[in-house]
Amino acid sequence: MRLESESELKKTYWNTLIHSVIMFAGQSLMQLVDMVFCGKLGANAIATVGTSTSLFAWFMVVGNGLVYCLEYLIPHALGEKNDKEAHSFYYSGLMVSTLVSVFSTAGLALLAFNSALIGTNLAIQGDVTTFSTIIALSYFPVFLIPTLRVELQARGHPNESTYAFLIGNILNVFLNWALIFGHAGLPELGLMGSAWANVISRFGIFFYLLAKTLHVRSKLESIPIHWMKVNYQKYGGKILRMGFPSSVHMLFEMGAFILVSTLASSMATTQNAAHSIILSIATFVFMIPLGLGSAAALTLSKLNGEKRHALAIHYGWSTIKLGWGYALISSSFLIVFQKPLFALYTSDAETTAMGASILFIAAIFQAADATQVIIAGCLRGFGKVKIQAIANGVGHWLIGLPIGLFFAYRLNWQVRGLWVGLSTGLFFVAITLFYFWKKTTRDQS
């Protein structure tokens, strides 16, 4: 099988990049839509969705960290022309994803029924328990979707993920509108209607990707190994061993934001609501560089499998520079359109005033956020996953969170102080990973 020419590779790279960005943005847009619709129900509803989403994310980041290593394993095996290994990693990825979804569903249900133990505001405890229990049902599609996405992208079909999330978002908007307010002949479920809209939409995305994956695989010339004959202990074990550092990396990074959400849930409702709105906006903005990092991991992994290391470095730098350009635009957008953004969520003056100062902090750290997540993807494309975990552990938990707690409680900046800490941690991680990316490129040159 011949290697792609540089012009063909450039086309493949941009195709993968564009669809990865759209897919990740679409994933985050679902949460943003939930928050906007629930915002019509008041500050308590916003706080409930924000708190429940944070509890959901504790398990999601760990599980996704395990399966995201497939962005390296499957394309790298295909780059080495080891088709048997590529198929074995695909089947093993499905198995690992399924097992993780079972444990996560049980874990979130247990956590939801004990939300009082983590200091959740009494005014929203009951709703948080119910909302969280419902969305726990969506862990199965949440963990299997990345495996199907990587399989399709690695085999030259990145567009299918875009179509899947487009359909899922349209369905989510309709179901939020219908189930919250009782339109289109559907029952009026209020806040819980948004939870069911989320679950149904995620299953819709999963079934679409499953159908497309089965179709693509049916067109392959041959599949050298049957799923029943895969050595799951060997390949599943490799996924867990390589995925564990990525999982720890994501737990350290996203866990810091989730912990801040947990702390915010014990503050006044307006503080929690302002935090939830800003986190929703920041998460959506973050999904663009996350998509860039994912595309870089897939592209660089395949090129390294083909021993085309110079091209891998070239596309790594190209993606990082794209991220810097995006960060400049997104920072400016958050500062200039501060009031219109908040108007989408709430008309509450106190919540808006609190959120304005936090949004400025979020705008400042865009460059650091884009840099660290894209370089993490580039390093993953070279099979390096441990340094991300170490950098995020030190940056967020030993530097950022202590600073945030000092500003929040000692200086009484409350939720704003927590965001100062998050920003500090991100800048440390970005600088550290940039240093190791430079070292990696020197070693490979």
Q: Which residues, 6 or more positions from 177, have their beta carbon under 8 angstroms from its beta carbon?
A: 37, 183, 184
Measured on CA atoms in the order 86, 385, 293, 171, is the torsion positive or negative? positive
Structure tokens belonging to residue 88: 């074995």
Measured CA distances, 98 to 23, 46, 110, 307, 441 (Å): 21, 31, 19, 33, 36
- Residues whose CB is less than 8 angstroms from the CB of residue 170 and which lie 6 or more positions away in sequence, other chains included: none
Classify 223 in phi/psi space as left (phi over 0), alpha (psi -120 to 50) or beta: beta
- Helix, strand, coil percentages for the chain (3-state, nearest 5): 85, 0, 15
**pLDDT over 90 (residue 216):** yes
Over pLDDT 90: what percentage of the chain? 41
pLDDT band at 3 (very low <50, low <70, confident <90, very high): low
CA 195 → CA 47, 57, 201, distances in Å? 14, 14, 10
Decide if 388 contacts 244 (C-beta within 8 A): no
pLDDT at 349: 76
Rg (CA), the chain: 21
Distance separating alpha carbons of residues 423 and 79, to the nearest angstrom? 38
pLDDT tens-digit map of 404-445: 999 988 888 888 899 999 999 999 999 999 999 999 998 876
Provide CB contacts within 8 A for 307, sequence distance 6+: none
Query: For the whole model, what pTM was predicted?
Result: 0.77
Mean pLDDT of 4-28: 81
- pLDDT, tens digit (0-9, with 9 covering 90-100), for 355-388: 777 888 889 889 999 999 999 999 988 888 888 8
With a CB cutoff of 8 Å and minimum separation 6, the contacts of 282 are 362
- pLDDT per position as a tens digit, 389-398: 899 999 999 9
Q: How confident is the model at residue 28 (pLDDT cuts 50, 70, 90)?
A: confident
Query: Residue 56: what pLDDT?
Result: 86
Helices (H) and strands (E) in the chain, counts: 17, 0
Per-chain mean pLDDT for the chain? 87
pLDDT for position 347: 73
Task: Please tell me the predicted confidence (pLDDT) of residue 121.
Answer: 66
The answer to whether 374 touches 365, Cβ cutoff 8 Å, is: no
Q: What is the pLDDT of residues 147-180, one digit of tens each?
A: 998 899 888 888 898 899 999 999 999 999 999 9
As a whole number of angstroms, the distance between CA 260 and CA 266 comes to 10
